[in-house]
Amino acid sequence: MNSTKVIDAKGLACPMPIVRTKKAMDELAPGEILEVHATDKGSKNDLTAWAGSTGHELLKSEEEAGVFKFWIKKGE
């Protein structure tokens, strides 16, 4: 997947992964894709809920060796 930007939030505890994600997302144009890497276990639920409430689309998520990866498409 072609990510416009990648955010490394590994090792950061809640709320920082979302704070960073939101900040980065504000700088993207609608339709562009942000890739987020995080190790906080709550990040999956929270990113899903956040994307849903803001109109962004969580395209895909996966977990590999304790690292959660998310691809989020910026909404209109």
Partner 1 sequence: MITMMTAKDVGTMVKHKEELFILDVRNQTDYQDWRIEGEQVESINIPYFDLIDGVDGVLDQIPAHKKLLVVCAKEGSSKFVAEQLAEAGLEQVAYLQGGMKSWSEYLEQVLVFADERMKVYQFLRLGKGCLSYMVVSGGEALVIDPSRFTDVYLDAAKHEGAKISHIVDSHLHADHISGGKQLAQMTGADYYMMKSEGAVFSFKPLEEHDRIRFAQVDLRVLAVKTPGHTPGSVSFFVNDKLLFSGDTLFVGGLGRPDLGGKAAEWAQDLYDTVYGKMAAMADDVIVLPGHYAELDREVNESGYVGAQLGVIRAANELMNQQDKKSFVDQVVAQAKTETPPNFEEIIAINRGVEEATAERQQELEIGPNRCALHHTHE
Whose tokens are 């490394």? That residue is 8
Binding site for partner 1 (CB under 8 A): 13-16, 18-19, 22, 41-42, 45-46, 49-50, 53
List helix spans (H) across the chain: 16-26, 43-54
Q: How far is the CB of 31 from partner 1 (least distance, A)?
A: 21
Task: Tell me whether residue 6 or residue 13 sits nearer to partner 1 (CB atom).
Answer: 13
Query: Residue 35 forms beta bridges with which residues?
Result: 6, 71
Catalytic residue among 8, 11, 13, 14: 14
Residue 14 known to be catalytic = yes
